[in-house]
Structure 1
Amino acid sequence: MKEVKLVPFNHKNEEQIAVKFGYDDAIRVHLKKLLDIKWSNTHKTFYIKNSTENKSKIYNHLRLINCYINYSELIIKKPNISKTLNIQLPKLNEGQEKNLQKFRKWLQQKRLSENTVNTYVEVTSFFIRYSILKNTVDYSKRLIESFNYDFIVHSNKSVSYQNQCINGIKKYLEYKGLEVERFELQRPKKEKKLPVVLSVEELKRVLDQTHNLKHKTLLSLIYSAGLRIGEAINLRVKDIDSKRMLVHIKGAKGKKDRYTLLSEVFLNLLRAYYKQYKPKEYLFEGQNSEQYSSSSAQRVLKGSVEKAGLRKQVTLHTLRHSFATHLLENGTDIRYIQELLGHSSPKTTMIYTHVSETSVRKIKNPFDNL
């Protein structure tokens, strides 16, 4: 297996990825087939713009010819929390480490997602080390507020992360059997941004630019059934109920099952896809019959959006937003949309009333009377 090294470097005042390898015609010819790859006479190397999408693109492209890709220099190291706070946090002792692992198991028994468990354990570790620094085991409101400021506010972390930190600390206090009610930390409010929505015409342009049958089927399913990307790639062949014209979503967000719509037009596309690809377990399989990845799906969508000439910031979730908005514009009751999307609260679904064009079009603009 030949080694190829991916190295960050600055070229033409932009961050690039240099592709380093020993002289090899097969690699050179293969690299030239990759879209957006360029050659620098100055640096004597192939290069591509440094982005998350391009890292995955070049990695997958080189794996096709069985290369070993060394991307260690591209890995962004997490900032040292001690440096962020400009203080040196003490290490946990063996007993504290064991207690933290017990806390992890306790969280897992609560059936929280693995990402949530990892975040809660991480922030709790910092919080305990912070309390050692302050030479106290009294988890008072004042200590927690001090930690909240030093660790989150002063470090300019996101609102979402701040809320996760508060949740993590509260879960730890619950685990320790301490009074949670007496800690009234002020939660920051998230910015209320309206979702990006594609018109029917824009959506058709995007799908028309998606020529690969598997890619087109996946994007069409996400839109036609209003799915999250995780729900789409977790679908199994048996979850498609063509007799009842329903898609069975199992274990979705909040550990809930639900049914959503199966479009008749989409079903024809799905049958053509199934006939060609013959998936065994998961409806959409990647290499080696494994589950298709969300990052691959996002790259496909981005490419189709660019080819369609759209300037909107479109993600896979935009397709789900568009599904809900188009249903609302067609007169579907908001309660049915809530069920199809799997929202726990109608308040979440109500956001689509703010982006629907139907009601807005009925309003006469006062400028027209001038």
Structure 2
Amino acid sequence: MNRLPNITLKNLLIDNRKKIGLQYFSNKVIDALLNNLPNVSWSSLYHMHYIPYSKDNLDLIFKTYKGVAWINGNYFFKKDNSKALNEEFDVEWFRNRQLPIDYKQCPEAYLDKLELKRYANNTVKTYVSCFEKFINHYKDKHIDEINENDVRDYLKVLVQNKWSNSYLNQFINSIKFYYEIVLGLPNRFYDIERPRSERKLPVVLSKEEVREILDATNNIKHRCILGLLYSAGLRRSELINLKLTDIDSKRMLIKIDGAKGNKDRYSLLAQSMLDDLREYYKKFRPTKYLFEGQKKEKYSATSIVKILSSAVYKVGIKKHVTPHTLRHSFATHLLENGTDLRYIQILLGHNSTKTTEIYTHVATNTFNSIKNPLDL
């Protein structure tokens, strides 16, 4: 059975006008039928033919090559990756900024699309920050005139300045978001090479170090915050969004609503943690969120970092400890206690056990059965 040749549709922006690119391996039949398409041109930059963008022209491509070639539109048509987040979209920080006179701000349409797509507030700040650094690097160029080579040159600058691979990917995502989502050109920068992902092992505390940190927090509220991060394996954003009704003392579970990836899940509630939470509630009387600021607003993520840093400093731990370190430690200690990796995956809310498997590289029971050759 003969397979049909493949034509991949690409979104192009040439002379600030949208075009439909046709990418395929050399084929006499496809070349001949190009004459049936209007205003066909060749791009030496993209190495493909293209025609003006319009719905009629798009329909004509499918009609012309019906039964002759398979049209691949996976790179052309927009995908809806909207997220149903529970948090309120907040860009007041963007409106209230004090900026230099010649500073190029992120377009309003960029923010509108981020809101429409329900991106998390932390992601919004990251995208805006990265994209503004990018467009201000090219102060004398309109953003719609920037091409793939400009993006590559900018990424080279970031590499030379020792930015990590994860930051490089964030810059690429923020740039692609503008051209692909805001301007409606899916896969606009499909030739941009992404850096290889780094596989760094997580920093993990011992059980004794975790206990020292918790004991170093004299404030019951602070102890509950750090205790929940560890004992339930919570992300900082998940802890901040916990409501009073999310603590299920009868089933000894904690419900995490709309976590990363818009997934709800349950995690463990330790008895000692429940005792501390009851003491905390009697003293602070939170109204909506489990942890609230002085004006009963949602607790600050920055405050959590300060609480943890202070406790770590008190006990003299030299490791680089962040709120996420407590989550890593939770998972590692469960694994060392013999908990099945699948259960740990569920408690952490990972999509795949491949993500959770990284803890096998730091759990002590992975190495306990191995006899060191120096001791043989």
- TM-score w.r.t. the length of structure 2 is 0.65
User: 5 Å matches for 1:175-194?
Assistant: 175=181, 176-178=183-185, 180=187, 183-194=190-201
- Contact kept? 2:103, 2:136, Cα under 8 Å: yes
Task: Determine which of 329, 332, 345 is the counterpart of 2:336.
Answer: 329
User: 5 Å matches for 1:249-268?
Assistant: 249-268=256-275
The structure-2 alpha-carbon separation of the partners of 1:155 and 1:203, relative to structure 1 and needing over 3 Å to count, comes to: closer
Q: Which runs of 5+ in 2 are unaligned?
A: 1-97
Instruction: Give the letter for the 2:279 counterpart.
Output: A
Q: Distance in 1 between matches of 2:358 and 2:161?
A: 31
| Equivalent residue number for residue 39 of structure 2 | none
The structure-2 alpha-carbon separation of the partners of 1:345 and 1:134, relative to structure 1 and needing over 3 Å to count, comes to: same
Instruction: Give the letter for the 1:253 counterpart.
Output: K
Deviation of 1:179 (Å): 5.6
- Contact kept? 1:285, 1:292, Cα under 8 Å: yes
| Equivalent residue number for residue 202 of structure 2 | 195
Q: Distance in 1 between matches of 2:129 and 2:221?
A: 39
The structure-2 alpha-carbon separation of the partners of 1:164 and 1:311, relative to structure 1 and needing over 3 Å to count, comes to: closer
Per the alignment, in what secondary structure is the counterpart of residue 179 of structure 2? helix
Deviation of 1:147 (Å): 3.5
Deviation of 1:324 (Å): 0.4
Normalized per residue, the structure richer in helix is 1
Using the aligned pairs only, state the percent identity. 50
Q: Distance in 1 between matches of 2:326 and 2:133?
A: 38
Task: Determine which of 283, 286, 291 is the counterpart of 2:290.
Answer: 283
The structure-2 alpha-carbon separation of the partners of 1:273 and 1:121, relative to structure 1 and needing over 3 Å to count, comes to: closer
1:287-324 CA deviation, whole Å, 9 max, x = no partner?
13233223222222222223323222222221111110
Per the alignment, in what secondary structure is the counterpart of residue 248 of structure 1? strand
1:244-287 CA deviation, whole Å, 9 max, x = no partner?
21101112222222111111222122222222222221112221
Deviation of 1:154 (Å): 4.6
Q: Number of paired residues?
A: 278
Instruction: Give the letter for the 1:342 counterpart.
Output: G
Structure 1 range deviating more: 255-264 or 112-121: 112-121
Deviation of 1:197 (Å): 1.2
User: 5 Å matches for 1:30-69?
Assistant: none
The structure-2 alpha-carbon separation of the partners of 1:287 and 1:121, relative to structure 1 and needing over 3 Å to count, comes to: closer
Q: How well do the aligned residues superpose, as a CA RMSD in angstroms?
A: 3.0
User: 5 Å matches for 1:236-255?
Assistant: 236-255=243-262
Q: Distance in 2 between matches of 1:196 and 1:136?
A: 40
| Equivalent residue number for residue 8 of structure 1 | none
Q: Distance in 1 between matches of 2:154 and 2:285?
A: 54
1:144-200 CA deviation, whole Å, 9 max, x = no partner?
3234334x3355444333211211222223233436276222222354322121111
Task: Check if 1:232 corresponds to 2:239.
Answer: yes
| Equivalent residue number for residue 312 of structure 1 | 319
The structure-2 alpha-carbon separation of the partners of 1:330 and 1:279, relative to structure 1 and needing over 3 Å to count, comes to: same
Per the alignment, in what secondary structure is the counterpart of residue 265 of structure 2? strand
| Equivalent residue number for residue 352 of structure 2 | 345
Q: Distance in 2 between matches of 1:348 and 1:102?
A: 35
- TM-score w.r.t. the length of structure 1 is 0.66
